[in-house]
Chains A and B, each alone.
Chain A
Amino acid sequence: MSPDMKNGIGRPVEPETGEKPQVLLDVQDLHVTFGKGKKAFEAVRGVSFQVYRGETFGIVGESGSGKTTIGRAIMRIHPTSGGSIYYKGEKINGKISRELDRQVIKEIQMIFQDPMASLNERAKVDYIVSEGLMNQQKLSEEERLKRVRQALADVGLLPEFSSRFPHEFSGGQRQRIGIARALIMEPECIIADEPISALDVSIRAQVLNLLANLQKTKNITYIFIAHDLSVMRYFTDRIAVVHKGRIVELGETEELITHAVHPYTRALQSAIPMPDPVHERTKKLTVYDPSIHDYDVNPPKWQEIREGHFVLANDREIEDGFGQASRSV
């Protein structure tokens, strides 16, 4: 267990000035439903969280947990069926004005998982990167090319790449093009949906470093979606653990990883592959079994167990630490 947390428990990372963190994005009781009537499937079932300006907020969960759907709902790709999303205090889900729509499109950008599938194979990099700009503002050709060159330079690509097609690039380079496409809009917030899952380990490190540097120089807020807690631990300030459309645990990264309470978080944690053969071979894998919860009589509540560390549990589970002696609390 790490000693005292550098930033204090429960507060997002603050800028050195000591200002109070500013809420950039506020998601309240979000519901997303696919299909209608009997076939309706609720992919996101009442999710609430806040993202502070300048932080990296992680959403972790397995495939099908709804983590991507949350990101896409914020992007206004999926319509919401309940709850509200506030961006800089203004509601951005449901019907909104044209100006606000434009502002949201410009200021919240997305990076996708598969760099092979997310780039238009028949368009040149030049067009791919600047497509978003064309809808936003009238730019002279010269100005547009300047912005493309700048965006490519920001992600470490050469300006002459702009006349090439996506198939001429490696996976890591394609992901950089995807990042350049987001950057050119000068966004305040980037939703990165598993941006490194499809990449080689050595390329992963490069893309993570790039994202971290961009955050430093441009003060971008990230919502980082992934299934892998080890990457999360390195990259995020706070983590929300999503299971079956609900957030089951939320807290500051170090706090959450060293004091994980919910059995699902613990299962995720035990699955982290460590480069240590002796330990790995003897490791007992924790598999999460949702049937251990007895929620018929005593439904779970969203409770704060330590400052800034929330968990979805009923009172009995909090008392006995989900049926097992809690490790460090």
Chain B
Amino acid sequence: MAQEIILSVKDLNVKFRLRDQELHAIRNVSLDVCKGESLAIVGESGSGKSVFTKTFMGLLDANGFISSGRILYNGQDLAQLKKEKDWQKIRGGEIAMIMQDPMTSLNPLKSIGAQIAEAIRLHQEIQGAKEVQARVIEYLKDVGIPEPERRCRQFAHEFSGGMRQRVVIAIALACNPKILICDEPTTALDVTIQAQIIDLLKELKEKYHLTIVFITHDLGVVANIADRVAVMYAGDFVEIGMAEEIFYDPKHPYTWALLSSLPQLGQRGEELFTIKGTPPSLFKKITGDAFAPRNPRALRIDYLQEPPYFEVSPTHKAKTWLLDPRAPKVDPPEAIRNLKNLEEVYR
């Protein structure tokens, strides 16, 4: 890919101190985010996907720290930033974030318009009250809120869940960011609203030339918005590839498992596929493939030695011994082999 890289993470390790123990949340992860793409990070709860993106904004909890590695953005190493003052130059203006629950990310005591205006004043060169107000209305229009002149005077509790999430997006946009991190932005919403918010994000990405990092546990949601998908398991990316490659030609058994457990693929009367066991404890050192204990078809070497990345195509790599030329041939589960023709089942 000859695309420009906007953010580059190199050998990042994040640890948390908990009761005299160290939890290794992000284990030696490298990832490049290209300018203008939408990258989806997919994984179960506790896989470290939120922690990973929080490091870009200096938002780790007090007991968490970057133990080694670099996060290069605009020639600057974000992993070295210590002072709040330095972070404030990054937060909002360069990288903005949308959280899962729109109820808790809005201030209940300030009108919607005032909250957007605050972001505009802080991050843009516009200062006059009239100009700011005009921008507020414009942003509300952009995120599809009807009657913005009236709605901007209202408070968060007067909006529905979907509308609130639109307001949160408007605030993020008002910061004029280059990268927009969406941390499960649709999980708390209805399916119909979810689809609308995803359509909106795609639209805004074009209009404002955003780079989107989309975090979710639901691979079904990702297909619509992602150009590229990175699958995270136990603090490490096990497979990275273009959306088509991940959905039509997945290589890692964990990606197979995530895809197979989607209820969309379930046949009435048959059991849904489930992933047995629980994710490994990150307090302990992990040897071999972290997913091996839950993988019914794990190889012997999976328990002994950590697999390297095997390149499937220039854009697609996976961390599994199955791609080693010496490995036995293991086919992905039947249910996910033909995702291309899936919609015919429904339509």
Contact = CB atoms under 8 A, between A and B. Distances in A.
Interface of A: 1-2, 62-64, 170-171, 200-202, 204-206, 208-209, 212, 227-231, 233-235, 253-254, 257, 267-281, 283, 285, 287-288, 327
A275 B264 contact: yes
A271 B162 CA distance: 14
B26 to A, nearest CB: 19
Nearest to A264: B192
B190 A275 contact: no
B195 interface: yes
B158 interface: no
Contacts of B262: 201, 275
B271 A277 contact: no
B263 A208 contact: yes
Contacts, number: 139
A275 B345 CA distance: 13
Interface string B283-313: 0000000000000000000000000000000
B339 interface: yes
A64 B199 CA distance: 22
Given A62-B193, A200-B45, A285-B195, A277 B221 contact: no
Given A202-B257, A209-B274, A285-B196, A273 B247 contact: no
B217 A200 contact: yes
Given A227-B190, A273-B223, A274-B220, A234 B345 contact: no
Given A270-B195, A273-B218, A285-B196, A234 B45 contact: no
Nearest to B243: A277
Given A201-B218, A234-B268, A280 B258 contact: no
Question: What's the dominant secondary structure at chain A's contact region?
Answer: helix
Contacts of A274: 220, 223, 264, 342-343, 346
Contacts of A234: 263-264, 266-268, 272
A306 B34 CA distance: 52
Contacts of B221: 273
A276 B263 contact: no
A276 B195 contact: no
Contacts of B224: 273, 277, 280-281, 283
A276 B267 contact: no
A122 to B, nearest CB: 23
A290 to B, nearest CB: 13
B340 interface: yes
Most buried by B among A205, A273, A283: A273
Interface in B217-237: 217-221, 223-224, 226
Given A230-B263, A277-B243, A283-B224, A202 B258 contact: yes
A166 B224 CA distance: 36
A257 B190 CA distance: 18
B263 A209 contact: no
A278 B268 contact: no
Contacts of B199: 285
Closest 8 CB pairs of A and B: A234-B266, A277-B243, A205-B272, A271-B195, A280-B224, A273-B220, A205-B261, A280-B223
B126 interface: no
Nearest to B267: A234
B261 A227 contact: no
B161 interface: yes
A234 B270 CA distance: 9
A224 to B, nearest CB: 12
A284 to B, nearest CB: 10
Chain B, interface residues (CB within 8 Å), range: 35 or more
A11 to B, nearest CB: 15
Contacts of B267: 234
Question: What's the dominant secondary structure at chain B's contact region?
Answer: helix
Interface of B: 44-45, 160-161, 190-196, 199, 217-221, 223-224, 226, 243-244, 247, 257-259, 261-268, 271-275, 278, 336, 339-340, 342-343, 345-347
Contacts of B44: 200-202
B257 A277 contact: no
A257 B346 contact: yes
Contacts of A209: 271-272, 274
25 contacts: A63-B190, A170-B278, A171-B45, A201-B44, A201-B217, A202-B44, A202-B257, A205-B263, A209-B271, A209-B272, A209-B274, A230-B264, A233-B268, A269-B346, A271-B194, A272-B346, A273-B194, A275-B219, A275-B223, A275-B259, A275-B262, A276-B247, A276-B343, A277-B244, A283-B224
A271 B193 CA distance: 8
B342 A275 contact: yes
B192 A267 contact: yes
Most buried by A among B190, B271, B347: B190
Nearest to B224: A280
Nearest to A284: B199
Contacts of A1: 347
A24 B258 CA distance: 37
Contacts of B194: 271, 273
Contacts of B339: 275-276
Given A205-B273, A208-B272, A276-B223, 19 more contacts: A62-B190, A201-B218, A201-B219, A201-B262, A202-B261, A205-B261, A205-B274, A205-B275, A208-B266, A257-B346, A268-B191, A271-B195, A272-B191, A273-B194, A273-B223, A275-B220, A279-B342, A283-B224, A327-B347
Contacts of A254: 268
Contacts of A271: 191-192, 194-195
Contacts of B263: 204-205, 208, 228, 230-231, 234-235
B266 A275 contact: no
